[in-house]
Structure 1
């Protein structure tokens, strides 16, 4: 009955992996059934429990409860640091729709459970397909499994109490806004020029109904530039996936440092 003594260690592993799937991109989508997430977390926890050295943690003690909270915070933190950069795609779509006039046409997104703009939804789907195409989901799974080499389940994490994780979060937020701005810049700048031209036309030819003509012109320019800017969008997505992997690795190293 030696395996009974490893149940507390297995529960700690299971909590970290399951909390990771709550916030990590792709796997956190509501369209993925909860039994699938729980089953995947369970089998990954079994693999990790077999691979790493067993930890002697007394069950249902004060120390065990503290370790459970610590494992949950680690899993949520690792998934969140990766999802922050992924939200840059949605933010870029919001910037574009505000300039194009699509902000009032927000639709319900069943994946996130919130209302999203049309361009943001389209770019989010492309980003998800790109992440799956380049095996980015494998990198995310590899990251959470790699974390057990740096952060043992039976030890606390001093970095949770200092400012190193907060500094990394702020740096990640900054990178997210920079990527969102670069993704939205070609279309937003072009639509700004269209507004400028329409304003000049409105001053020189007041008889033209710009409320009707202008909106149609902006929609057409929006889709043309969106199509022309797709190569640069996928190039930025490649940078985003690289930064996502790097931020996840930095978070693991910071938490694992003594």
Structure 2
């Protein structure tokens, strides 16, 4: 530990980026994980990464404060990018809940503490299990480690406000909503046809209470289509996780000015 004292400023900068990344990235930012455990894990990972860098000590002055702010912003941007991409599964679940009639029955999301739809929460847990199954959490840790190759620690001004960054963010939001719509399209389209059939039945047989029998029919049909398309959903989630890793690399390339 004595070799850490001369370069304690380097270790602190690494810890700031890693801890900011853990605050917002999926899986590691869950509120069910104790903060003490996250801080300890971030410090241990920063301590391991410290021995892979050969950088001269940075003095504690005004420029060091700017570097700390820069490291925190980079860590938050990388984590938020991963979270926004993986949130496509929750958006798809919201589309499905609106058609199945679960829009009023929300539960608490353990990651954000906010209300989230039932199917969206189910898809979110399924996506996290898929992330663990394909070792995506290892790729996330690799991403924060190799981010120093694209955005060096001593670089003061990454390309936060460049045109490439704005264009990347816009395309990322479009891709997230496109993936969410594609995931929910089979169930939403099927339930739309069921709604049309129920409407025709209600006009044909006015004595039948369509409002009462329509809910269980739509829920049963929705779950049936979900079971049939579950394998496809998992493949889409795997592709979404791969897209998340690729987009993290693209963001680091843009911010690093490569």
3-state SS in 2 of match to 1:116:
strand
Structure-1 residue corresponding to 2:15: 14
SS in structure 1 opposite 2:67?
A: helix
Deviation per residue, 1:209-252 (Å, 9 max, x gap): 10111111011101101111101101111210111011000111
Instruction: Tell me how far 1:2 sits from its aligned partner.
Output: 6.1
Structure 1 vs Structure 2 CA RMSD: 1.2
2:28 match? 27
Deviations 1:25-53 (A, max 9, x none): 11111011111111111011111111011
Q: Which runs of 4+ in 1 moved over 3 A?
A: none
Provide Cα deviations, 1:139-169, integer angstroms capped at 9, x if missing partner.
Answer: 1110000011221111223311322222211
> Whole-Å Cα distance in 1 between the matches of residues 111 and 56 of structure 2?
37
The corresponding residue for 1:54 is: 55
Q: Matched residues in 1 for 2:111 and 2:101: separation?
A: 24
* Cα pair 1:23 1:79 within 8 Å, conserved: yes
- Paired residues of 2:143 and 2:248 also in contact (CA < 8 A): yes
1:196 counterpart = 2:196 = yes
Structure 1 residue 123, shift from structure 2 partner: 0.9
Q: Normalised by the size of structure 2, how large is the TM-score? A: 0.96
Is contact 1:157–1:256 with CA below 8 Å preserved after alignment? no
Q: Which runs of 5+ in 2 are unaligned?
A: none
Where does structure 1 lack aligned partners over 5 or more consecutive residues? Answer: none
Q: Secondary structure at the match of 2:112?
A: coil
Residues 210-225 of structure 1 aligned to structure 2 (within 5 Å): 210-225=210-225
For the 8 Å contact 1:55–1:153, the answer to whether it is kept is no
Q: Which moved more, 1:102-111 or 1:1-10?
A: 1-10
Q: TM-score, normalised by structure 1?
A: 0.96
Aligned with 2:7: secondary structure?
A: helix
User: Does 2:143 correspond to 1:143?
Assistant: yes
Structure 1 window deviating more from structure 2 (164-173 vs 142-151): it is 164-173
Task: For residue 100 of structure 1, report the CA deviation from its aligned partner.
Answer: 0.9
Contact 2:151 2:158 in 1 (8 A): no
Q: How does 1:103-118 map to 2 (within 5 A)?
A: 103-118=103-118
Aligned to 2:42: 41
